[in-house]
Amino acid sequence: MDPEIEDRVTTFGELGLVPELLAAVQDAGYTEPTPIQRDAIPRVLQGRDIIGLAQTGTGKTAAFTLPIVQRLLGGPRRTRVLVLTPTRELAAQVEASFVKYARHAAVSVIPVYGGVPIEPQERALRAGVDVVVATPGRLLDHLERQNVCFDALEFLVLDEADRMLDMGFAPQLNRIVEQLPRYRQTLLFSATMPAEVEALSRKYLRKPVVVQVGRRSEAASTVTHAVYPVPRERKSALLIELLRNDQMDSVLIFTRTKHGADRVVRHLDRAGIAAIALHADKSQSQRTRALESFKSGAARILVATDIAQRGLDVSGISHVINYDVPQQPEDYVHRIGRTGRAAQTGDAFTFMSADEIAMVRTIERMLGQPIPRISVPGYDFGTVAAA
Ligand code: AMP
């Protein structure tokens, strides 16, 4: 980070944002920029390519949305911005950010993702739009149908690049980027920087500036972590116990599989605790409804598989519970990025059966610190086995 920027800049105005954007920031209720915003906004306004090493919860969406909207002001109505995201949930959220930050600017945006009919998107694209926020597969369908033209494209944003590569989108990304103008500004955001993402950035970015929030792979520091040792078959009973006894306002529970998510919802239901499931077997409208009722607070408990892992912007989640230990250590960091967002505090609990001990150790090595164990009498496999 440029030390001068760190020392001097404390307000959005000092980052070079114009009144239209400052008004939107004020409407959003933000008093000062987050570190990634402080570092990235002036660089994007200067026209630099950027690698942003930041996970969800750091304010990274505004870090690229605000300066891009500013750069669009007063320009022609052509498709000048493409944001690519791994999931439709993230696409919808980035679209919402553009709408929010472009409140005082005449900038139009549409989300483009699969699982919903293609024709309305086709009509909207053909009518012309400034910003397209898309998942790679559905965007390629539109490109094949020649629904969208990127000849005037100025900005490409790759959001959660590591996740897109994890999901096997590399070939689609290549096919899309091949069709974009070479002279453009490219911003790549990623929570982690494995070799594949570095290779991608070498290929697509020109002399990028790296802006980084904290140490690589660092978990959100406002989150309190705990591991509950518990036999697999006692996990649902422990969950019910915690949900009954602890102060948990809104709880996001992660399971490894869709069936696991449905099973947890059923167990909770039988115990008289209302919960809803969010996973890829649900239709898009069911997923949207589930998210909306969770966001509005109507549903207190959401049980989700990985699709909700990143990009799910639900402010004020008090607890994340890993019902199963994540398979990839990075996923642990992403999941707990759901709580502790923008400096709120939150708790992240992980249920660990005996066969998951090694995975928890791997996660702890990556975090560089042990996660405290909490032993609930009658549930801990140590005490259960001894009894
Ligand atoms: P993101 O990392 O982009 O997913 O943003 C995380 C959350 O932080 C979102 O709910 C934003 O609305 C919120 N946020 C972004 N920038 C700020 C800021 N400067 N001050 C307070 N909250 C913010």
Q: Which fold has domain 3-213?
A: Rossmann fold (3.40.50)
Mean pLDDT of the region 181-186: 96
Assess whether the C-beta atom of 55 lies below 6 angstroms from ligand 1.
no
Minimum CA distance residue for ligand 1 atom 21: 30
CA of 228 to the centre of ligand 1 (A): 30
Ligand 1, residue 58: give the atom nearest the CA.
2
Q: Are 3-213 and 223-386 the same fold in CATH?
A: yes
Mean pLDDT of the region 172-194: 93
Give domain 223-386's CATH number out of 3.30.470.10, 3.30.1120.80, 3.40.50.300, 1.10.10.10: 3.40.50.300
Mean pLDDT of the region 227-256: 86
297-353 pLDDT per residue, tens:
788 899 988 665 555 655 667 788 999 999 888 888 777 755 544 434 467 889 999
Mean pLDDT of the region 346-368: 87
Q: How many residues does the chain have?
A: 387
* Cβ–Cβ under 8 Å, residues 295 and 267: no
* Cβ–Cβ under 8 Å, residues 91 and 85: yes
CA of 165 to the centre of ligand 1 (A): 25
Q: Is the pLDDT of residue 44 over 80?
A: yes
What pLDDT score was predicted for residue 222?
Answer: 52
Instruction: Please return the burial class of 219, using the count of CB atoms within 10 Å of its CB with bins 0-12, 13-18 and 19+.
Output: buried
Name the pLDDT band for 385 (thresholds 50, 70, 90).
Answer: very low
Lowest mean pLDDT among 126-135, 224-233, 259-268, 369-378: 369-378
Which residue from 281, 94, 308, 292 is spatially nearest to 321, judged by alpha carbons? 308
Name the pLDDT band for 121 (thresholds 50, 70, 90).
Answer: very high
What pLDDT score was predicted for residue 246?
Answer: 63
What pLDDT score was predicted for residue 312?
Answer: 60
Ligand 1, residue 34: give the atom nearest the CA.
19
Mean pLDDT of the region 27-34: 90
Assess whether the C-beta atom of 33 lies below 6 angstroms from ligand 1.
yes
Assess whether the C-beta atom of 93 lies below 6 angstroms from ligand 1.
no
Written as six digits, the tokens of 147 are: 């629904």
Ligand 1, residue 30: give the atom nearest the CA.
20
- Distance from C-alpha of 4 to C-alpha of 345, rounded to nearest angstrom: 30
What pLDDT score was predicted for residue 223?
Answer: 60
Report which of residues 56 and 171 the model is more confident about.
171
CA of 262 to the centre of ligand 1 (A): 31
Q: What is the dihedral of CA 160, 260, 384, 319, to 10 degrees?
A: 40
pTM (2 d.p.) = 0.63
Mean pLDDT of the region 120-147: 95
Query: Which of 30, 37, 295, 336, when mutated, tests ligand 1's pocket best, judged by the most ligand atoms within 8 Å of its CB?
Result: 30
Written as six digits, the tokens of 214 are: 């904290």
Domain boundaries, the chain: 3-213, 223-386
Mean pLDDT of the region 145-162: 95
Report which of residues 280 and 239 the model is more confident about.
239
Q: What mean pLDDT is reported for the chain?
A: 84
Mean pLDDT of the region 96-113: 92
What pLDDT score was predicted for residue 89?
Answer: 73
